[in-house]
């Protein structure tokens, strides 16, 4: 039987995993939309507007899922982790508060204008709203990643009577792992949105869409991915080095290093066995792990056995890390191949379109795998060295948590199905009908299949 701690951890993991999928898309998609709108303002080419109008609908749907799952998250701290707020509430509270104050209202209000205001505000105000929404999503990421990073590498505080008090807010916000984690996550969002846009556009083309807009967005997605993917590899490496400095046990688990050694090999594959404290079926490249992590082929990497059991579970981190890196390499390969075809032939062959469709949600896989590595890698701590996860959990009966967990899980399964299904319906519909019936976007041009315009658009 699962206890309250395990159930609460599963519930929080389920909530945050489900939640992060949507902001990961919208943070970067907001900027991509702003780019579409800006290009339209500059060139007056209606194709940009068509691209904008299709993707703004996708954005609205994705954003709504992010909002509702985010509200659930904000309640979780209080409902399941009272020890968290009691111990580090003085730090976590203001950071969360600034996220609500500076980001949430901004996004929500200007998204309303962006979605419904086309006939009511001048084009410039509309473009400005798209800009503000993008700024809002990014600000939101700034605050929440600052708090998350602080939980990994807490600085700028002192403990008084078992409660954390801030001594320097600058040190709290810009704690040592924050710049790396924030950059890594923003680029992850860029990659996720890029493959999402490219994948859905490729799907439209495969379904027989002869219009220009999906080709334009396919190209936009692939170019963004081709530029960001290698940068992400570099930033990820920097983030890893930062982790080695502050959380060496996490790196040891990622690399599957049990005994402290010099010239540690890079394990391409292995199955770690925690009871036997060894790996089986190793496929390794000699000395490469030391070279990557210490920039010295004979550099020393501290093994898991030197942490006296105070290290996270090894297997999920070991495999999660390989899944993330593998996904990243696949992204580079697909994005560059795609750009090569675009440059040589101006379009993708059918098999390549299928590959790009297959990569639509690749960003989700990599992002989740990465977050599992970093979050499980923090265990057994909730806030490194300050508060253990077990000490923060609610005293509620396991039955209550089991009940809410079952509710959330069933809702998430339904919603995920509905989301993917609806994206497909939207893409297929876009194959048949134009985003608006006039050649140039005019004030009265209505859009298909939306409240208030459902009937006109059905034709």
Partner 1 sequence: MTPETMTFNDWLPVIFIGIMGLAVLIYAVLDGYDLGVGILLPMQDEDELQRDTMIASIGPFWDANETWLVLAIGILLIAFPAALSQIMLSLYIPVAIMLIGLILRGVAFDFRAKAAVDHKLTWDRVFKGGSLLTTLSQGYMLGQYVMGFESGWQAQMFSLLSALGVTAAYSYIGAAWLVMKTESDLQKRAVQWTRKAGRATLLGVLAVSLINPLVNPGVFDRWFTYPLVMFVLLIPTLTFAGFVVNDRLLKRLPKENDRHCRVPFFLTVGIFLLCFSGLAFSFFPDIIPGELDIWAAASAPESLKFILVGAVIVVPLILAYTAFSYYVFWGKATELKYH
Q: Does 388 bind partner 1 (CB under 8 A)?
A: no
Least gap, CB of 324 to partner 1 (angstroms): 28
Q: Write each residue from 108 to 127 as x if it is in contact with partner 1 (CB under 8 A), else as -, in one continuous string.
A: xxxxxx-xxxxxxx------
Q: Interface residues for partner 1 in 40-69 (CB under 8 A)?
A: 53, 56-57, 60-61, 63-65, 67-69
Q: What is the 3-state secondary structure (H, E, C) of the chain?
A: CCCHHHHHHHHHHHHHHHHHHHHHHHHHHHHHHHHHHHHHHHHCCHHHHHHHHHHHHHHHHHHHHHHHHHHHHHHHHHHHCHHHHHHHHHHHHHHHHHHHHHHHHHHHHHHHHHHHCCCCCCHHHHHHHHHHHHHHHHHHHHHHHHHHHHHHCCCCEEEECCEEEECCHHHHHCCCCHHHHHHHHHHHHHHHHHHHHHHHHHHHHHCCCCCHHHHHHHHHHHHHHHHHHHHHHHHHHHHHHHHHHHCHHHHHHHHCCCCCEECCCEEEEEEEECCCCEEEEEEEECCHHHHHHHCCCCCEECCHHHHCCCCCCHHHHHHHHHHHHHHHHHHHHHHHHHHHHHHHHCCCCHHHHHHHHHCCCHHHHHHHHHHHHHHHCCCCEEECCCEEHHHHCCCCCHHHHHHHHHHHHHHHHHHHHHHHHHHHHHHHHHHHCCCCCCCCCCCCCCCCCCCCCHHHHCC
Binds partner 1 by CB under 8 A, chosen from 208, 309, 385, 395: 395
Instruction: Choose the binding region for partner 1 from 88-96, 198-206, 349-357, 364-372 (rule: CB under 8 A).
Output: 88-96
Least gap, CB of 197 to partner 1 (angstroms): 17
Q: Write each residue from 7 to 36 as x if it is in contact with partner 1 (CB under 8 A), else as -, in one continuous string.
A: ------------------------------
Q: What are phi and psi of 258, to 5 degrees?
A: -90, -50
Least gap, CB of 74 to partner 1 (angstroms): 5
Q: Does 394 bind partner 1 (CB under 8 A)?
A: yes
Binds partner 1 by CB under 8 A, chosen from 2, 100, 159, 283: 100
How many residues at the interface with partner 1, by CB under 8 A?
77
Least gap, CB of 405 to partner 1 (angstroms): 9
Least gap, CB of 130 to partner 1 (angstroms): 12
Q: Does 422 bind partner 1 (CB under 8 A)?
A: yes
Binds partner 1 by CB under 8 A, chosen from 6, 159, 333, 407: 407
- Of 244, 270, 276, 240, residue with least CA distance to 256: 270
Q: Does 451 bind partner 1 (CB under 8 A)?
A: yes
Residue partners of 446: CB distance under 8 A and separation at least 6: 436, 437, 453, 456, 457
Least gap, CB of 199 to partner 1 (angstroms): 18
Instruction: Choose the binding region for partner 1 from 147-155, 190-198, 309-317, 388-396 (rule: CB under 8 A).
Output: 388-396
Q: Does 425 bind partner 1 (CB under 8 A)?
A: yes
Binds partner 1 by CB under 8 A, chosen from 12, 98, 196, 372: 98
Q: Write each residue from 174 to 213 as x if it is in contact with partner 1 (CB under 8 A), else as -, in one continuous string.
A: ----------------------------------------
Q: Does 74 bind partner 1 (CB under 8 A)?
A: yes
Q: Does 403 bind partner 1 (CB under 8 A)?
A: yes
**Angle between helices 314-345 and 362-376 in degrees, nearest 10:** 150
Binds partner 1 by CB under 8 A, chosen from 31, 55, 104, 372: 104
Q: Does 257 bind partner 1 (CB under 8 A)?
A: no
Q: Does 415 bind partner 1 (CB under 8 A)?
A: yes
Least gap, CB of 371 to partner 1 (angstroms): 21
Binds partner 1 by CB under 8 A, chosen from 10, 13, 14, 166: 166
Q: Does 413 bind partner 1 (CB under 8 A)?
A: no
Least gap, CB of 108 to partner 1 (angstroms): 4
- Rounded distance between C-alpha atoms, residue 190 and residue 188, angstroms: 5
Q: Does 79 bind partner 1 (CB under 8 A)?
A: yes
Torsion of the alpha carbons at 426, 432, 438 and 443, rounded to the nearest 10: -20
- Nearest CB to partner 1, comparing residues 332 and 453: 453
Q: Does 96 bind partner 1 (CB under 8 A)?
A: yes
- Rounded distance between C-alpha atoms, residue 302 and residue 249, angstroms: 8
Q: Does 2 bind partner 1 (CB under 8 A)?
A: no
Binds partner 1 by CB under 8 A, chosen from 6, 78, 432, 442: 78
How many Cβ atoms from other residues are within 10 Å of residue 442's Cβ? 12
Q: Does 266 bind partner 1 (CB under 8 A)?
A: no
Q: Does 77 bind partner 1 (CB under 8 A)?
A: yes
């Amino acid at each position: 039987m699962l206890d309250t701690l395990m159930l609460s951890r599963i519930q929080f993991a389920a909530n945050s995993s489900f939640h992060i999928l949507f902001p990961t898309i919208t943070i970067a998609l907001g900027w991509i939309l702003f780019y579409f709108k800006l290009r339209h303002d500059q060139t007056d080419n209606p194709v940009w507007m068509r691209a904008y109008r299709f993707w703004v609908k996708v954005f609205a749907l994705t954003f709504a899922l992010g909002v509702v799952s985010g509200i659930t998250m904000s309640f979780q701290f209080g409902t399941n982790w009272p020890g968290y707020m009691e111990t580090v509430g003085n730090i976590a509270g203001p950071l969360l508060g600034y996220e609500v104050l500076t980001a949430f209202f901004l996004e929500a209000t200007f998204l309303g204008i962006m979605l419904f205001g086309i006939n009511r505000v001048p084009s410039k105000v509309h473009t400005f709203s798209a800009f503000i929404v993008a700024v809002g999503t990014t600000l939101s990421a700034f605050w929440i990643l600052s708090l998350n990073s602080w939980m990994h590498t807490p600085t700028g505080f002192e403990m008084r009577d078992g409660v954390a008090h801030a001594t320097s807010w600058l040190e709290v916000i810009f704690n040592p792992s924050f710049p790396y984690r924030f950059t890594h996550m923003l680029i992850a969002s860029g990659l996720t949105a890029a493959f999402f846009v490219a994948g859905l556009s490729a799907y439209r083309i495969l379904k027989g869409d002869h219009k220009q807009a999906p080709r334009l967005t396919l190209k936009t997605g692939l170019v963004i991915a081709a530029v960001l993917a290698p940068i992400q590899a570099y930033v990820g490496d920097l983030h890893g080095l930062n982790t080695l400095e502050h959380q060496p046990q996490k790196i040891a688990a990622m690399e599957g290093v049990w005994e402290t050694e010099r010239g540690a090999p890079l394990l391409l594959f292995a199955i770690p066995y925690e009871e036997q404290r060894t790996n089986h079926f190793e496929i390794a490249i000699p000395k490469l792990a030391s070279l990557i992590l210490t920039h010295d082929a004979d550099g020393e990497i501290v093994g898991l056995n030197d942490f006296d059991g105070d290290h996270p579970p090894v297997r999920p981190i070991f495999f999660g890390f390989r899944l993330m890196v593998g996904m990243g390499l696949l992204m580079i390969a697909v994005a560059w191949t795609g750009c090569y075809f675009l440059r040589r032939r101006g379009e993708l062959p059918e098999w390549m379109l299928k590959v790009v469709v297959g990569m639509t949600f690749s960003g989700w896989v990599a992002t989740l795998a990465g977050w599992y590595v970093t979050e499980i890698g923090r265990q057994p701590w909730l806030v490194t060295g300050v508060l253990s996860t077990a000490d923060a959990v609610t005293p509620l009966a396991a039955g209550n948590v089991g009940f809410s967990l079952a509710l959330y899980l069933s809702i998430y399964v339904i919603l995920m199905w509905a989301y993917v299904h609806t994206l497909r319906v939207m893409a297929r519909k876009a194959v048949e009908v134009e985003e608006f019936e006039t050649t140039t976007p005019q004030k009265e041009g209505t859009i298909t299949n939306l409240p208030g315009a459902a009937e006109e658009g059905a034709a």
